[in-house]
Structure 1
């Protein structure tokens, strides 16, 4: 067919009834074509739905295939004749909308354009814009961005994000026989990881897991399973049966395979999945790629406007209450991971609290839930304990806000060492140390009674919160170790850094021992590697300081031995711990060799140099260099 005929055929397929009768060219104009307008027959210009011979879009075809697949699955469930299938039949008989909800799956309802709403749904929040695009995805564009204006010119309709209408019970009906291995991994994840890093709603995730709802995706599920596999002893989950570090290999590779498509169609589950991928990668020694994946999650969170209050979007009917809750949980999860990565690698964080438009969650009256340790194939007692998930998250967030301040200030002080006078720097340090210490003490005093460090505190998340609290105290005081060790600490407004660091390091070991005695360390957060290595830096430093002063405290050796013990236990789940273990062991051996050499040569050798090469995950030089004999009297 010639190009002219081809074009004519395409035009004819859109022709109105009047132009078809007259066999003339029709431009398909709405509400009336040009031919009918020219003849003054606008009222007679109508189009036949059956006359449109255009091929249906790929989207329409895909939706039809999905409906057919859902129908087949429903029929298979009914044919099983089980109790679940009887329940399904009852639902179909009593609820005429139930079948349609099963066949339809997650839908995107169009929002009618009107003059007040414009071409895109836009909410102005303190000179910042949350925008819903043509695919129903929410984005954030700041004041300097032209992207929003460009998209407004090219976008015709806005649609809200897909939300599954199925209930949790319906999901159980649709998939009553979940694979036992998958079920075990899910249980492991939600028991041991989710209570600390709560980045999505568990009920909504499980609801949408088998119904292709918006709160679960194949990418997120595979990322979660690749993470959870490290908590399982099943050899079939490993690439090499005898190597726990290869656990979750298949899930991990599948998540990476799906990642490209996720980045093209980014959503809440993309952000969540990236966080879990990065966490897994940190735990197995792939910090570089983990840093990249976590950074992608943080930037995507800002792109989706998760850092801004979306209440007005709810008022406009653009998002549901469920989605707002998940958006907020995902963002605060990003914030926690971001500060964790910042401390772990000693790099600036991406998300700063002064850029956040969300209200920080606060402590509130919360009924307790029962938490039960899930330890398959072990003899660990299954004793339910009270847990307060929402207030636990509030406590973690408030602690990490202080951590952000501490890390930001430490970075700033490093940069000032060559540009600021020593007197000015000492004064700045004084103010920083006093204010940060008071904030940390206030955090501890304001904890609800059931979140405090008491003998009855046994929930894993609470144990880890308090290890991180003491790690933050170490970050704060560790730069003063050399100063306070070489001279009298001249102020009573804050504790002596040597004593404070030693107390916190010992407290970390005490909490780790308690965790091990209760549950073992097989399924602990990979955060355990970091807090243990942080404690070990204190014990190494104190050993060197004591050696330099001619004193000796035998407890340092037993405490370093405990650090090695815990790192060895954690390494079964998180392989990165073995690298830290080996490096710490090498540093201890090196220290003893230096000590022996100095004794043989009958001299008193400074051992600070041995510390400078120690692998420290938060920042490289933790002993701030001050000239010995400096006047710190003004610090009082």
Structure 2
């Protein structure tokens, strides 16, 4: 009998595929039945005690939220992706099968070994949008002594432009963007001897109160209650002047009053003076917490390099202090329950900041879940003097349980951490440059699994954190921001490569459908937020959310070849522009995205030009030759200061794209870098 050597293997793979599909479908059906269950219990429950008497009914009418349609569809897509992967295992030879299986780990979902897809596999997968995780941009100073990399998840992906030689960064500015901000020299006499800006001064207490009222929920790197306890006592392990000045710098920058906003640099300079004056020589927990806050501020005002370094120091300190290991690991430790929980809180704050910055810049993360066993944070009892501290330092007349009566901040923070765990997978498994040669089927399967994880995260949110398009009434700002992050992540995950925008199949692809669905939800969230809350209280990462929304709007317009004047595009883009204008008062880095959108809209003068994608609409080219003196009067920046290189695979340029003749760009002014070759 003539049988192929791999026939037994194929039969076994087919059997596993059927068993896995049946098990997944059965699990999905059981999950749906459980979620849709309505429990009615009116009969008394018999006690098994001595008396044998009946007790009151346990519960009546307990309703569970049904499984969301998006989660069901995500599971169906994951099943289809797994079946396709298993089918591919059958069609390839034994050597490539070994590579594929080695590259795919269902337990860790991590891609280990690079492999190259066969020609047959490539042809079979053309019905899906290929994943291009290796595109990126390099901002390099002309003197050749500095460079900045921005990867595929960064806000540089806002543009539908495809020209690889047209990325000239005119708006990423390494200079202070806050008008009228004071320098350290202007306040050289301000120190501990001056009561005007001492930690116990009225202005410091006012800015600290604003931070805890409006910003703390997004930056929970410290334990508010115990920080205030030690501040009130004048000393303690959870307070330092460095941390206090860092808090004041953030509280000032989010102020609506210009005079207070200008003080942000004063407190930042004082914090920096303490940081380099000795805090880094013997760092403690408050040093790490201050670095997270200072890094957040610096990136938001346009000092991206310094902010990135501050944040990196915080992540390194987390490892140095052993925060990546749960405090319960240490035998013989006399740490109290409170101290252990504060250590956990600090680690998870660093973890969240790491993922947000990695997504913002498109760079590899520093903290990996596999290296940590830290438990989820939980709320610990308030200190005995909490009621007095609350009324003295945050807000008069506030109930002792004010922050637990409605939405519990710690519960919101726990789900923020869970979302960032999924974002870590998205960054490392789909967009990490080192997996650029991984088989497309494996990448697609990983993307599907991450999509399922995101939809499950959303469907599992508790009722106080839940939101959908039919939610009415007042919604807490934390809830709105949490869902904005979720939908921005969905857009980034499913956003097609820009060179695919001209493919007719892209319009009907599931990836584009997912992008449009999340864009619609994101626009509704922005509308609700603008009516109910102030943009100035949001973290600077909100700018990345707006840039992601703008990229989806411009992608949709490009694919559908619509006009700028169409209400379907003008209304959402105007909403994004309005949000950018508002947040730019707090975080000037928003001016970068705002200027790009304005240039793209004003650059088209006739209807025929508007129908085509504006080739000048690119974050790095759109401001070339434009007059932006009215927008960024305080920018000390020259166009000749920087060059941009791009990281793109050869396949990106394989479709014979012709450059637009309207471009007048000197090739000598742009350095292109091959990803495979290191930078000089």
TM-score range, shorter chain: 0.5 to 0.7
Structure 2 counterpart of 1:396:
416
1:496 is aligned to 2:510: yes
Of residues 453, 458, 470 in structure 2, which corresponds to 1:439?
Answer: 453
Q: 1:583 to 1:609 in 2, by over 3 A?
A: closer
Is the CA contact (8 Å cut-off) linking 2:581 and 2:590 kept in structure 1?
yes
Distance in 1 (alpha carbons) for counterparts of 2:507 and 2:608: 35
Of residues 509, 516, 526 in structure 1, which corresponds to 2:540?
Answer: 526
Is the CA contact (8 Å cut-off) linking 2:214 and 2:537 kept in structure 1?
yes
1:452 is aligned to 2:466: yes
Q: 1:345 to 1:318 in 2, by over 3 A?
A: same
Displacement of 1:180 in angstroms is 3.6
1:471 is aligned to 2:488: yes
Q: 1:608 to 1:353 in 2, by over 3 A?
A: farther
Max Rg structure: 1
Is the CA contact (8 Å cut-off) linking 1:220 and 1:269 kept in structure 2?
yes
1:233 is aligned to 2:256: yes
Is the CA contact (8 Å cut-off) linking 2:480 and 2:529 kept in structure 1?
yes
Q: TM-score if structure 2 supplies the norm length? A: 0.56
Distance in 2 (alpha carbons) for counterparts of 1:277 and 1:403: 23
Displacement of 1:311 in angstroms is 1.3
Structure 1 counterpart of 2:216:
194
Is the CA contact (8 Å cut-off) linking 1:540 and 1:611 kept in structure 2?
no
Q: 2:495 aligns to what SS in structure 1?
A: helix
Structure 2 counterpart of 1:50:
none
Q: Which runs of 5+ in 2 are unaligned?
A: 1-198, 381-385, 397-401, 623-644, 657-680
Is the CA contact (8 Å cut-off) linking 1:506 and 1:535 kept in structure 2?
no
1:207 is aligned to 2:221: no
Of residues 534, 557, 561 in structure 1, which corresponds to 2:574?
Answer: 561
Structure 2 counterpart of 1:219:
242
Distance in 2 (alpha carbons) for counterparts of 1:532 and 1:375: 32
Is the CA contact (8 Å cut-off) linking 1:197 and 1:333 kept in structure 2?
yes
Displacement of 1:573 in angstroms is 1.5
Distance in 2 (alpha carbons) for counterparts of 1:226 and 1:394: 26
Q: 1:481 to 1:268 in 2, by over 3 A?
A: same
Q: 1:200 to 1:535 in 2, by over 3 A?
A: same
Structure 2 counterpart of 1:98:
none
1:581 is aligned to 2:594: yes
Q: 2:597 aligns to what SS in structure 1?
A: helix
Task: Give per-residue Cα distances to partners, 1:384-431, cap 9 Å, x unaligned.
Answer: 97111221111101111111111112333x4455x45xxx32x12321
1:386 is aligned to 2:406: yes
Q: TM-score if structure 1 supplies the norm length? A: 0.59
Distance in 1 (alpha carbons) for counterparts of 2:620 and 2:578: 22
Q: 1:606 to 1:456 in 2, by over 3 A?
A: closer
Matched pairs, number: 417
Displacement of 1:558 in angstroms is 1.8
Distance in 1 (alpha carbons) for counterparts of 2:553 and 2:424: 25
Q: 1:304 to 1:383 in 2, by over 3 A?
A: closer
Q: How does 1:340-359 map to 2 (within 5 A)?
A: 340-359=356-375
Is the CA contact (8 Å cut-off) linking 1:480 and 1:497 kept in structure 2?
no
Q: Which runs of 5+ in 1 are unaligned?
A: 1-176, 238-243, 377-381, 630-636
Q: How does 1:209-608 map to 2 (within 5 A)?
A: 209-210=231-232, 211-237=234-260, 244=261, 246-260=262-276, 261-313=278-330, 316-361=332-377, 386-412=406-432, 414-417=433-436, 419=437, 424-425=439-440, 427-453=441-467, 454-456=471-473, 458-479=475-496, 483=500, 486-488=503-505, 496-547=510-561, 553-590=566-603, 592-593=604-605, 596=607, 598=609, 605=612, 607=614
Q: 1:405 aligns to what SS in structure 2?
A: helix
Q: 1:455 aligns to what SS in structure 2?
A: coil
